[in-house]
């Protein structure tokens, strides 16, 4: 299958890293390889990119898209979840890097190719696995998780105010027959939401599908683990860029960056901040970078994108 993908905030994400031509960089969400291609154009023969993706289709696509750079020894593709960034790079003999970037969430090909089960618009088996070798699927969640667990994920990950009605509707339907397809689930969700509410705010199943996808792939847990580990991998002057697409992701990244860059509680009346109290990291942009009007015209999926950047300014044991 073709892995066509419109890269969001392409130049902003990579330019924010202040790329060093001979530096070592990490792409945690390879996807269609748009960010990777742009970054590699700025690296010389000594520079290197380690690119992660848990979706084997993305890896296979990158083998073609980045064939010249791979042949030149500038790229290493890693088929793994980015939560394993530290252990995977350790196996490559990498201790510190000059920059790391993330393009979070589901990619365009995963949405556009209905057979993957991510889309509520195309009929397909309930799957939603980014890593197709993983065992947990959307089918298992929808058909076997109890009411309280369904309510929790739809409410928390989908931020859906009708989560209770939807969870009950799923429970009722599966008592009669197994819920097998995306369109079957989408219709159940639609019918559970009051008709007046369905008239605005996009497809009524959008938030529930998002919630189930996040649960299937443990996306928030993976983000937290990976960003925390990635910050420790940055060398002094190294930067991390993170694009998020919904409020849960952005809130988590913002909080992780805030904690990393926070000054510890200090004794009162200190005239100068002692070096040992200086934070290791500095947030580069207090407000997230968003897509320009021009980019929004070309790619509607950029509408919710937010880019946050942090830099390691010192090193403490």
CA 99, CA 22: separation in Å to the nearest integer? Answer: 12
List C-alpha distances in Å: 98 to 93, 94, 103, 233, 263. Answer: 15, 11, 18, 9, 23
Mean predicted confidence (pLDDT) in 198-202: 79
CB-count burial class (<10 Å; 0-12, 13-18, 19+) for 52: buried
CA 39, CA 27: separation in Å to the nearest integer? Answer: 9
Least confident of 4-18, 93-107, 121-135: 4-18
The answer to whether residues 71 and 23 belong to one domain is yes
Does the residue 91 lie in any domain? yes
Kind of pairing, strands 24-27 and 97-103?
A: parallel
Does the residue 123 lie in any domain? no
The answer to whether residues 230 and 105 belong to one domain is yes
Mean predicted confidence (pLDDT) in 202-219: 94
List C-alpha distances in Å: 7 to 289, 302, 311. Answer: 15, 9, 23
Q: How many domains does the chain have?
A: 2
pLDDT of residue 96: 98
CA 159, CA 173: separation in Å to the nearest integer? Answer: 22
Does the residue 100 lie in any domain? yes
pLDDT of residue 113: 65
Least confident of 60-64, 172-176, 219-223, 261-265: 261-265
pLDDT of residue 277: 72
Percent of the chain with pLDDT over 70: 92
Q: What are the structure tokens assigned to 240, written together?
A: 């991390």
pLDDT of residue 6: 67
* Domain-terminating residue out of 160, 190, 216: 216
The answer to whether residues 176 and 45 belong to one domain is no
pLDDT of residue 4: 56
The answer to whether residues 178 and 41 belong to one domain is no
- Mean pLDDT (the chain) is 92
**pLDDT tier, 196 (very low <50, low <70, confident <90, very high otherwise):** confident
Q: Are 147 and 42 in contact (CB under 8 A)?
A: no
pLDDT of residue 5: 56
CA 45, CA 50: separation in Å to the nearest integer? Answer: 14
Does the residue 257 lie in any domain? yes
Does the residue 280 lie in any domain? yes
**pLDDT tier, 105 (very low <50, low <70, confident <90, very high otherwise):** confident
pLDDT at 156 over 80: yes
* Domain-terminating residue out of 216, 248, 278: 216
Does the residue 115 lie in any domain? no
**pLDDT tier, 137 (very low <50, low <70, confident <90, very high otherwise):** very high
pLDDT of residue 273: 67
The answer to whether residues 211 and 142 belong to one domain is yes
Mean predicted confidence (pLDDT) in 89-116: 86
Does the residue 164 lie in any domain? yes
pLDDT at 188 over 60: yes
Phi then psi for residue 49, to 5 deg, are -125, 125
pLDDT at 2 over 70: no
Mean predicted confidence (pLDDT) in 38-54: 97
Q: Are 128 and 138 in contact (CB under 8 A)?
A: yes
The answer to whether residues 103 and 225 belong to one domain is yes
Q: Give the residue numbers spanning the domain of 19.
A: 10-109+220-312
Does the residue 4 lie in any domain? no
CATH number at residue 207: 1.10.150.170
Residue 266 or 75, more confident:
75
CA 139, CA 159: separation in Å to the nearest integer? Answer: 21
pLDDT of residue 70: 97
Nearest to 310 by CA among 264, 249, 273, 260: 260
List C-alpha distances in Å: 148 to 56, 135, 159, 171, 174. Answer: 33, 22, 15, 11, 15
Which residues, at least 6 apart from 272, have a Cβ–Cβ distance to it below 8 Å? none
Q: Are 306 and 288 in contact (CB under 8 A)?
A: yes
The answer to whether residues 49 and 196 belong to one domain is no
pLDDT at 1 over 50: no
pLDDT at 114 over 70: no
User: For 225-257, what is each residue's pLDDT tens digit?
Assistant: 999 999 999 999 999 999 999 999 999 999 999
């Amino acid at each position: 299958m073709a892995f066509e993908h419109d890269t969001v905030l392409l130049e902003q994400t990579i330019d924010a890293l202040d790329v060093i031509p001979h530096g070592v960089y990490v792409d945690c969400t390879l996807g269609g390889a748009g960010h990777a291609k742009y970054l590699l154009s700025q690296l010389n023969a000594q520079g290197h990119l380690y690119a992660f993706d848990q979706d084997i289709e993305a890896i296979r696509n990158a083998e073609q898209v980045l064939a010249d750079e791979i042949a030149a020894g500038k790229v290493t593709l890693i088929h793994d979840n980015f939560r394993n960034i530290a252990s995977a790079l350790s196996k490559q003999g990498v201790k510190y890097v000059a920059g790391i970037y993330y393009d979070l969430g589901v990619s365009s090909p995963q949405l556009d190719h209905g057979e993957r089960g991510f889309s509520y618009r195309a009929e397909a088996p309930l799957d939603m696995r980014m890593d197709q070798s993983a065992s947990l699927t959307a089918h298992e969640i929808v058909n076997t998780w109890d009411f309280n667990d369904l309510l929790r994920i739809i409410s928390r990950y989908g931020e859906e105010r009708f989560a209770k009605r939807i969870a009950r509707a799923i429970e009722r339907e599966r008592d009669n027959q197994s819920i097998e397809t995306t369109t079957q689930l989408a219709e159940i969700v639609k019918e559970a939401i009051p008709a007046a509410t369905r008239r605005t705010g996009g497809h009524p199943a959008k938030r529930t599908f998002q919630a189930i996808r996040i649960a299937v792939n443990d996306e928030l847990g993976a983000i937290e683990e990976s960003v925390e580990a990635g910050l420790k991998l940055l060398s002094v002057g190294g930067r991390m860029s993170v694009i998020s697409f919904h409020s849960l992701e952005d809130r988590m990244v913002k909080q992780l960056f805030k904690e990393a860059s926070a000054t510890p509680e200090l004794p009162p009346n200190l005239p100068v901040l002692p070096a040992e109290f200086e934070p290791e990291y500095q947030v580069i942009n207090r407000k997230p970078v968003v897509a320009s009007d021009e980019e929004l015209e070309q790619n509607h999926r950029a509408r919710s994108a937010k880019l946050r950047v942090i830099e390691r300014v010192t090193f403490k044991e």
